[in-house]
Amino acid sequence: MRVPLSWLTEFTPVEEPPERLAHALSFLGLVVEGTEVVPAPFGGIVVARVLATRPHPGADRVQLVDVDAGEGESRQVVCGAFNMKAGDLVPLADVGTVMPNGMEIGRRKVRGEWSNGMLCSAPELGIGPEGGEPAILVLPPGSATPGQSAAEALGFGADIVFDLEISPNRGDCFSVMGVARDLAAGLGLSFSVPQPPHEVAEDLPAAAVAIDPAAEDRCPRFTGTVVENVKGALVSPLVRRRLVLAGMRPINAVVDASNYVMLELGQPNHPYDISRLGGGGLVVRPAQDGERLVTLDGTERQLGPDDIVISDAEGKAVGLAGIMGGADAEISPETTTVLLEVANFAPLTIAETGKRLGLLSEARTRFERGVDPELAPCAIDRFVDLLGSGVRRGATTDLHPGRAAPVEVPLRARRANLVLGTSLSTQDCVALLSRLGFEAGQRADDRWVFRVPSWRPDCSREVDLIEEVARIYGYDKVRRLLPAHPARPSRLAGWQLARRQVREVLAGTGASEAWSSTFLSSRELELAALSPSSAVVVENPLDSSQALLRTSLLPGLLRALRSNRERQAGALSLFELGNVFAVPGGPGGDLVGSGGPEATFPASLGSGDGHGAESRRSASLGGFLYRVVEGVVEWEQLGLVASGAGVDATYAARAWEVIAGALRVDDAGVVPVAADLGPGALIGLPALHAGRRAVLAVGGRPVGIVGELAPEVAARNGLAGRVAVLLVDLVLLLSATPKPLVAREVSRYPAVDLDLALSVADVVPAGEVAATVREAAGELAEEVVLFEVWRDKSLGEGRRSLNFRARLRASDRTLTEADVGEVRERVAAVTAERHGAELRGARPTS
Amino acid sequence: MNALSATVGRAKLLLEGAGSVLELRALEPEAFGKRSDLAKATGQLRDLSPEERRQLGRALQEARAELEALFGRRLAELERQEAKQRAESERLDLSEHALLARRGGGGLAEGLAQPTLRGYLHLVTQVREELEDIFVSMGFEVAEGPEAEDDWHNFQALNMPAHHPARGMFDTFYLGTGGEGSALLRTHTSPVQVRLMVSRHLPIYAVVPGRCYRRDTPDASHLPVFHQIEGLVVDEGISMAHLAGTLDAFVEAFFGAGRRARLRPSFFPFTEPSAEFDVTCWVCGGEGCRTCAGSGWVELGGCGMVDPAVFEAVGVDAERYTGFAWGFGIDRMAAARTGLADLRDLVDNDIRFLTQF
Packed helices A426-434 and A462-473: angle between N→C axes, nearest 10 degrees: 80
Q: Domains in chain A: how many in total?
A: 6
Residues in B closer than 8 angstroms to A488, CB to CB, are 139, 205
Minimal CA–CA distance to A405: which of A429, A446, A441?
A: A441
Last residue of a domain, one of A448, A476, A504: A476
Query: How far away is chain B from the Cα of A471, in angstroms, using its nearest Cα?
Result: 6
Instruction: Tell me whether residues A786 and B305 touch, CB distance under 8 A.
Output: no
Higher pLDDT, A585 or B325: B325
Mean pLDDT of A17-30: 93
Minimal Cα distance from A696: which residue of B? B95
Query: Which of A586-600, A624-638, B274-288 shows the lowest mean pLDDT across its residues?
Result: A586-600
Do residues A641 and A651 lie in contact, with contact meaning Cβ atoms separated by under 8 Å?
no
Q: Smallest CA–CA separation between B220 and chain A, in Å?
A: 16
Q: CA A182, A184, A190: angle at the middle one, nearest 5? A: 140
Q: Are residues A778 and A758 in the same domain?
A: yes
Q: What is the mean pLDDT of chain A?
A: 87
3-class SS at B343? coil
Does A798 reside within a domain? Answer: yes
Give the pLDDT score at A678: 47
d(CA A689, CA A648): 11
The CATH number covering residue A798 comes to: 3.30.70.380
Which of these three, B88, B115, B133, is where a domain ends?
B88
**Cα–Cα dist A97/A42, whole Å:** 9
Q: What integer is the mean pLDDT of B303-326?
A: 96
Provide the pLDDT for residue A824.
Answer: 93
- Tell me the three state secondary structure of residue A274: helix
ipTM: 0.86
Question: Across the interface, do B125 and A628 touch by the CB < 8 Å criterion?
Answer: no
Contact at CB, B95 and A689, closer than 8 angstroms = no
Cβ within 8 Å of residue A579, ≥6 positions away: A518, A624, A634, A635, A636, A637, B146, B147, B211
Torsion of CA A259, A263, A269, A272, to 10 degrees: 0
Three-state DSSP class for A273?
Answer: strand
* Res A26: pLDDT: 93
User: What whole-number distance in Å separates Cα of residue A768 and Cα of residue A14?
Assistant: 85
For chain B positions 95-114, those within 8 Å of chain A (CB to CB) are 95-108, 110
Strand-pairing partners, residue A639, are A576, A727
Give yes or no for residue B290 having a pLDDT over 80. yes
Determine contact, residues A605/B199, Cβ cutoff 8 Å.
yes
CA dist A347 and A367 (Å) reads 5
Residues in chain A within 8 Å Cβ distance of B239: 417-421, 481
In this structure, the answer to whether residues A375 and A456 fall within a common structural domain is: no
pLDDT in tens, B7-24: 888 888 888 888 888 888
A172: left (phi over 0), alpha (psi -120 to 50) or beta: alpha
Final residue of a structural domain among B88, B114, B147: B88
Query: Does residue A622 carry a pLDDT above 60?
Result: no
**B32 vs chain A: nearest CA distance in angstroms?**
29
Residue of B nearest to A767 (CA): B95
On whether residue B96 sits in a domain, the answer given is no
pLDDT (tens digit per residue) in A745-775: 889 999 999 999 999 999 899 999 999 999 9
- Mean pLDDT score of chain B: 89
CATH of the domain at A81: 2.40.50.140
Residues A554 and A582 in one domain: yes
Judge if A393 and A448 occupy the same domain. Answer: no
Radius of gyration of chain A (CA): 42
- Are A395 and A426 members of one domain? no
B134 with B15, same domain?
Answer: no
* CA nearest to A212, candidates A337, A293, A321, A326: A321
pLDDT at A158: 86
SS3 state at A51? strand
Say if residue A363 is in the same domain as residue A282. yes
Cα separation, B12 vs B69, whole angstroms = 11
Do strands A281-286 and A208-211 pair parallel, antiparallel, or not at all (unpaired)?
parallel
Helix (H, G, I), strand (E, B) or coil at A458: coil
pLDDT tens digit sequence for A732-742? 888 777 888 88
- In the prediction, which pLDDT does B162 show? 82
Residue A714 belongs to a domain: yes
Lowest average pLDDT, out of A166-175, A389-398, A413-422, B45-54, goes to: B45-54
Task: Give pLDDT, residue A184.
Answer: 96
Which residue of chain A has the CA closest to B199?
A606
Model pTM greater than 0.90?
Answer: no
Pairing of strands B141-142, B204-213: parallel
Same domain (yes/no): A246, A340:
yes
Tell which wins on pLDDT, A341 or A491: A341
Q: Which of A419, A447, A476 is the last residue of a domain?
A: A476
Mean pLDDT of B301-327: 96
Instruction: Establish if B103 belongs to a structural domain.
Output: no
Are A727 and A597 in a shared domain? yes
* Whether B219 and B280 share a structural domain: yes
Q: Is A59 exposed, middle or buried (0-12, 13-18, 19+ CB in 10 A)?
A: middle
Burial class (CB in 10 A: 0-12, 13-18, 19+), A147: middle
Residues of chain A contacting residue B276, judged by C-beta atoms under 8 Å apart: 31
B279 and B155 in a single domain? The answer is yes
Verify whether the Cβ–Cβ distance B107 to A807 is below 8 Å: yes
CATH number at residue A322: 3.50.40.10
Asked if A512 and B351 come within 8 Å (Cβ–Cβ), the reply is yes
Residue B111 included in any domain: no
Residue B176 counted as domain residue: yes
A711 and A634 inside one domain: yes
Residue A840 lies in a domain: yes
Q: Which of B81, B93, B189, B259 to probe by mutation at the A interface, max A CB count within 10 Å? A: B93
Residue B72's domain comprises 2-88
Q: Residue B102: its chain A contacts at CB < 8 A?
A: 657, 661, 785-786
Mean pLDDT across B226-238: 96
- Kindly state the average pLDDT of the residues A493-521: 94
Contact A359, A323 (CB under 8 A): yes
Residue B126 is predicted with a pLDDT of: 97
A724 CB-near residues (< 8 Å, 6+ apart): A640, A641, A642, A643, A647, A648, A649, A650, A651, A652, A655, A707, A708
Residue B132 lies in a domain: yes
Give per-residue pLDDT as tens, A578-615.
Answer: 999 888 764 333 333 323 333 222 223 333 332 222 22
Judgement on whether residues B76 and B128 belong to the same structural domain of the protein: no
CA distance B98 to B95: 5
Contact between chains at B119 and A512 (C-beta distance less than 8 A): yes
Count: domains in chain B:
2
Cα A675 from Cα B230, distance rounded (Å): 45
Same domain, B130 and B83: no
Q: Fill in the DSSP letter of residue B180.
A: S
* Residues of chain A neighbouring B147 (CB-CB closer than 8 A): 518, 579, 581, 634
CB pairs under 8 A between A and B: 410
User: So what's the pLDDT on residue A612?
Assistant: 27
Give yes or no: residues A623 and A554 share one domain: yes
A253-267, A574-588, B200-214, B323-337: range with lowest mean pLDDT: A574-588
Among residues B271, B323, B331, the alpha carbon closest in space to that of B302 is found at: B271
For residue B191, list chain A residues with Cβ-Cβ distance below 8 A: none
Distance between CA atoms of A390 and A229, rounded to whole angstroms? 7
Considering the domain architecture, whether residues B200 and B336 belong to the same structural domain is answered as: yes
One domain for residues B298 and B200: yes
CB B224 within 8 A of CB B215: yes
Which residues between 199 and 218 in chain B have a beta carbon less than 8 angstroms from any beta carbon of chain A? 199-200, 203, 205, 211, 213, 215, 217
pLDDT at A40 over 70: yes
Same domain, B49 and B148: no
Distance CA A171, CA A370 (A): 5
Q: How far apart are CA A802 and CA A788, in angstroms?
A: 6
pLDDT band at A24 (very low <50, low <70, confident <90, very high): very high
Give the model confidence (pLDDT) of A117-170 as tens digits: 899 888 888 777 665 667 888 888 888 888 888 888 888 888 999 999 998 889
Please compute the mean of the pLDDT values over residues B301-319 and round it to a whole number.
Answer: 96
Residues A11 and A65 in one domain: no
The domain that holds A729 is classified in CATH as 3.30.930.10
Helices B94-102 and A649-663, packing angle to 10 deg: 50
- Residue range B91-107: average pLDDT? 79
- Range scoring the smallest mean pLDDT among A112-116, A593-597, A660-664, A677-681: A593-597
Please indicate, yes or no, whether residues B239 and B322 belong to a single structural domain of this protein: yes
Interface test with A, best of B86, B94, B317 (most A CBs within 10 A): B94
Pairwise CA distance, residues A293 & A296, whole Å: 10
Closest chain B C-alpha to A53 CA, distance in angstroms = 55
> What's the maximum distance between 2 C-alpha atoms anywhere in chain A?
139
Q: What is the mean pLDDT of residues A230-239?
A: 86
B100 part of a folded domain: no
Let me know whether B40 and B141 are in one domain.
no
**Domain contains A537:** yes
Contacts of A632 in chain B (CB under 8 A): 148, 175, 177, 183
Count of alpha carbons within 13 angstroms of residue B269, beta-carbon side:
21
Pairing of strands A118-119, A89-93: antiparallel
Q: How confident is the model at residue B180 (pLDDT cuts 50, 70, 90)?
A: low
Q: Which of A471, A476, A514 comes nearest B354 by C-beta?
A: A514
Q: Tell me A536's DSSP state.
A: P
Q: B33, B66, B88 — which closes off a domain?
A: B88
Are residues B35 and B136 located together in one domain of the fold? no
Highest mean predicted confidence (pLDDT) among A112-121, A462-471, B66-75? A462-471
pLDDT of A378 higher than 80: yes
Residue B304 sits in the same domain as residue B160: yes
The predicted structure's pLDDT at residue A132: 62
A202 domain residue, yes or no: no
Q: What is the pLDDT of residue A129?
A: 65
Q: How far apart are CA A548 and CA A525, in angstroms?
A: 9
Mean pLDDT of A453-463: 94
The pLDDT of residue A197 is above 70: yes
* A467 domain residue, yes or no: yes
**Average pLDDT of B202-211?**
93
Is B99's CB within 8 Å of A770's CB? yes
Please give the residue of chain B at the shortest CA–CA distance from A559. Answer: B349
Position B102 in a domain: no
Q: What's the Cα-to-Cα distance from A673 to each of A15, A376, A594, A686, B83, rounded to whole Å?
A: 80, 77, 18, 11, 17
Phi, psi of B294 (to 5 degrees): 80, -5
* Residue A337 Cα, gap to closest chain B Cα (Å): 36
Flag if B347 and A515 touch (Cβ within 8 Å). yes
Residues A563 and A427 in one domain: no
Q: Are B202 and B289 in contact (CB under 8 A)?
A: no
Name the residue among A355, A518, A650 with its Cβ closest to that of B94. Answer: A650
pLDDT at position B194 over 60: yes
The reply to whether B234 falls in a domain is yes
What CATH number has the domain bearing residue B240? 3.30.930.10
β strands within B214-355, DSSP E: 225-235, 261-268, 271-280, 297-306, 322-329
* Alpha-carbon dihedral sign for residues A506, A511, A517, A518: negative
**Alpha-carbon gap: B16 to the closest alpha carbon of chain A (Å):** 26
- C-alpha dihedral sign at A9, A14, A15, A20: negative
- The verdict on residue A194 lying in a domain is no
Give the residues across from A678 on adjacent strands.
Answer: none
Q: How far apart are CA B274 and CA B301, in angstroms?
A: 11
Residue numbers of the domain that contains A508: 494-604+614-734
**Residue A844 in this model has a pLDDT that exceeds 80:** no
A487 occurs within a structural domain: no
